[in-house]
A = this chain, B = another copy of it.
Amino acid sequence: MSDPTVIDDTNEPAPDDAQSQVLERVLEALLLASDQPLSIEQLHRLLGNELGVGKKDLRAALARLDAALAGRAAELCEVASGFRIQVRQEYAEWVSKLWQEKPPRLSRALLETLALICYRQPITRGEIEEIRGVALSPNIIRTLLERNWIREVGVKEVPGRPSLFGTTQQLLDDLGLKSLDDLPSLPEIKDPQQLEAALQRLGEQLHEIPHIADAPSEAIQTPDPDAMSPADPPPTVH
C-alpha cells in the first residue's frame, strides 16, 4: 500500500531516512517470517553486504522497529539466541482461546518432520524437505522448538549455513524413552510385522515402569490363592 520511499514532509527527510526505513521493514519482515529468533550475526550475514549496513546499524534499526511496534499487538523481544517478534502477553489469553478451539494439530507433516529429526539428526531443514519432497511450513519447526522437542544444535558449513536440528531430553521424556536407541531400527520399521513386534516390545518396556514401582509391596506378599487362576495348583503351605 504506502510506498516505503515516500517520506512524511514533517520529518525533514535526510537521504538516509528512506534507506533506514527500508532496513527497519526488512528486519520486520524477516522476524515475522522466521521460525526461530535471529541473532545480530545472522541478520548481518543476510543483510550486511547487500544493504551496506554494520551491526551497529542493525541494532539501531531494531530499536526503531521496537518503537514502531509500540502501538501494535506484537513486540520485539530479545532472547538467548537472538531477536523475535512475539504477541504481547496481554493478548495471550485470546490466543489460548484460539488454540483451545483449534489446537495446532500434530499434522502428518509435523510428525514426519519430528521423526526425521529423531532418526537423521543433526539435520537441516533443507534435508528434511528433500526427503519429504515438499517444502516445510515455517510453523512446523517453530512449533517443535516451542514445544522444546527439538533444538538448534549448530549450523552446517555449506552456503547459507543452515541450522542443524537435534532432539532434546524433553522429547525422550515425553515419549517415555530412556534413549533414542530404544527406537526400532530402519529395517524393523520398513517391515510392518517387525514394526508391530518392536512396538509391542517398547510398549511392554514402557508398561514395566509402573509395575516396577508397584512391585515391592505386592511381591513380598504371599500370593492370595483366590486371586490365582483355577488351573493353577494351590501352593502347599506347611
Contacts and interface: CB of A to CB of B under 8 A. Distances in A.
B32 A87 contact: yes
A190 interface: no
A75 to B, nearest CB: 5
A124 interface: yes
Nearest to A28: B73
Interface residues of A, number: 63
Given A71-B2, A99-B162, A134 B25 contact: no
The 6 closest A-B CB pairs, nearest first, are A100-B160, A101-B126, A103-B135, A29-B91, A28-B73, A2-B70
Copies of this chain, how many? 2
Interface string A47-82: 100000000000000000010111111110000000
Contacts of A33: 87, 95, 98-99
A201 interface: no
Given A100-B159, A100-B162, A32 B73 contact: yes
A133 interface: yes
30 contacts: A1-B66, A2-B71, A4-B90, A25-B72, A25-B73, A25-B91, A26-B91, A26-B94, A29-B73, A29-B94, A29-B95, A30-B91, A32-B85, A33-B87, A33-B95, A33-B99, A35-B104, A46-B94, A46-B97, A99-B125, A99-B162, A100-B160, A101-B129, A101-B130, A101-B162, A109-B146, A133-B139, A133-B143, A134-B146, A134-B147
Nearest to A110: B133
Contacts of A71: 2, 4, 68
B32 A102 contact: no
A211 interface: no
A124 B104 contact: no
B134 A94 contact: no
B162 A108 contact: no
A45 interface: yes
Contacts of A109: 146
Contacts of A139: 35, 133
Contact of A100 (B32, B108, B126, B143): B126
A170 to B, nearest CB: 11
Contacts of A29: 73-74, 87-88, 91-92, 94-95
